[in-house]
Structure 1
Amino acid sequence: MPKLNQIIAVEKGTKSRTQRELTDVYHRLQKPALLSGISRTYQPNDDEGETLPPESTKVQVRTEDVLREAGAALSKLFDVVATKDWANCEARADVTVDGQAVLRDVPVTYLLFLEKQLTDLQTLIGKLPVLDAAETWTFDESSDVWRTEPVRTTRTKKVPRAHVLYEATDKHPAQVETYTEDIVVGTWTKVGFSGAMPARRVNELRERVERLLAAVKYAREEANGIEVTDQRVGDAVFRYLFA
């Protein structure tokens, strides 16, 4: 008996071949000349009249024959798809990670859906923002985000100063040089907050989804390995249609 994965393997080829055959059928039916035939004979009015040979053209395409060809091509496709779909109702497997069944007795159609969703989720996890490794982060329960250690920096202010180079005398005024001096007037305390995730958590999620995805693929292959019973539905369909 064939296996489900073998039926799946031939399904695409059967669909392509059937499409080609149906296209050929359609094109032949669109050519009236192939469907037409004639037979002409000539009879002169008297014995001395000119004699002409008969003319004839045979019908090359019969619609009933073309329909039978279409039915035969489609019947094969109907049988292949029916065999696959009937088997899909029975094909099931457990999704197992590290010896533990995460999901049990999962239909193969759902395994295909799950594989697609996990692949998309894997892409999402690969783009998750990660906390800056240059900072030291702790989780702040009150604000439910990560925070850095406080960093203090001083705030300065430029204050003008004057320096007397020469004192005033009765003959010369004092010579004074002006300059500015940075004076600490306060302290900034900065704390950073982030909704990103620690790298170790992102790596853990990435590993988990990879392992689960691998388990789903394995389960799909296992489910597709069941033996199938060939279905014969095409003949019944076209016996009714073309009766």
Structure 2
Amino acid sequence: MTKLNQILAVEKGVKADVQRKVTEAGTLIQKAPLLSGISRTYQPIDDEGEQLPPESTRVQVQAEQVLRDVTVTLTRLFDVTATKDVANCAAKADVVVDGTTLVRDVPVTYLLFLEKQLTDLYGLISRLPTLDPSETWSLDGNTDTWRTEPVRTTRTKKVPRNHVLAEATEKHPAQVQVFTEDVVVGYWTRVAFSGALPQRRVNELLARLTKLQEAVKFAREEANGTEITDQRIGAALFGYLLG
């Protein structure tokens, strides 16, 4: 018996063949001279008159025949598409990961949808922001975010100081040099917060998603191996249309 994946393999070619032949037929029936014919004979008034040979042009294209030729091609397309769509209703498979069945009897069309969505999701997860590995992070239960350990730093302020180079005398004032000194005036305690994820969590998600993608692809291949019954719909439709 035919299998669904065999029908899928020929469907594209059948569609291309139909498109080409229908396009050719549409062009052909627009060429009026090919659909026209003529037969012309000449008879002089009397026997002494000039004799001329008959003229004729045959009809090269018959619209009815063009239509019948097109329906032969379309019948094949209608049958292939019907066979595929009917089979898609019955083609199902389970999605199994590590021996555990996640979902049962998933239609092949939905498995194709899942493949596309999981590919997009992989791209999103692979771009997730991760925590700065140079910091030590822990989960903050109050804010449900990641936080670093407190880091204490000093705050300084420049304070002017005097340095006496020479004491004052009766004759000379003191020689003083003014300079500034950084004096600790307080302390900063810094805690950083982040909504990013640990790299190990991203790696874990990607690993799980990869397994799920493989399971969906396997299920799709299994569903596409379903044996099908060839449908014969085109003949009934065109039998009515051309009858």
Output the TM-score relative to the length of structure 1. Answer: 0.99
Give the length in aligned residue pairs.
243
Tell me what 2:214 maps to: 214
Query: Where do 1:164-243 residues align within 5 Å?
Result: 164-243=164-243
Q: Which amino acid aligns with 1:103?
A: V
Question: In the alignment, what sits opposite 2:69?
Answer: 69
- The AA in structure 2 aligned to 1:89 is C
Q: CA deviation at 1:174?
A: 1.1
- RMSD between superposed Cα atoms in Å: 0.7
Distance 1:95 1:194 in 2: 36
**Residue of structure 2 equivalent to 1:124:** 124
Q: Tell me the SS of whatever aligns to 1:106.
A: strand
Q: CA deviation at 1:17?
A: 0.7
Q: Deviations over 1:179-216 (max 9, x none)?
A: 00000000011100000111111111111111001000
Q: Which amino acid counterpart does residue 202 of structure 1 have in structure 2?
A: V
Tell me the alpha carbon deviations over residues 21-66 of structure 1, each in whole angstroms, 9 at most, x when there is no partner.
1111001011000100000111111211111110000000101100
Offset, 1:170: 1.7
Amino acid at match of 2:101: A
The answer for unaligned runs of 5 or more in structure 2 is: none
Show CA shifts across 1:105-125 (max 9, x none).
Answer: 111111111111111111111
- The answer as to 2:55 corresponding to 1:55 is yes
Deviation, structure 1 residue 91 = 0.4
List structure 1 segments (4+ residues) > 2 angstroms apart after TM superposition.
none
**Aligned residue in 2 for 1:159:** 159
In the TM superposition, residue 144 of structure 1 has moved relative to its aligned partner by 1.1
Between the aligned residues of both structures, percent identity stands at: 67
AA partner of residue 28 (structure 1): L
What is the one-letter code of the residue matched to 1:179? F
- 2:209 match: secondary structure: helix
SS in 2 for 1:89: helix
What is the TM-score of this pair, normalised by structure 2?
A: 0.99
Three-state SS of the structure 1 residue aligned to 2:118 is helix
1:92 aligns with 2:92: yes
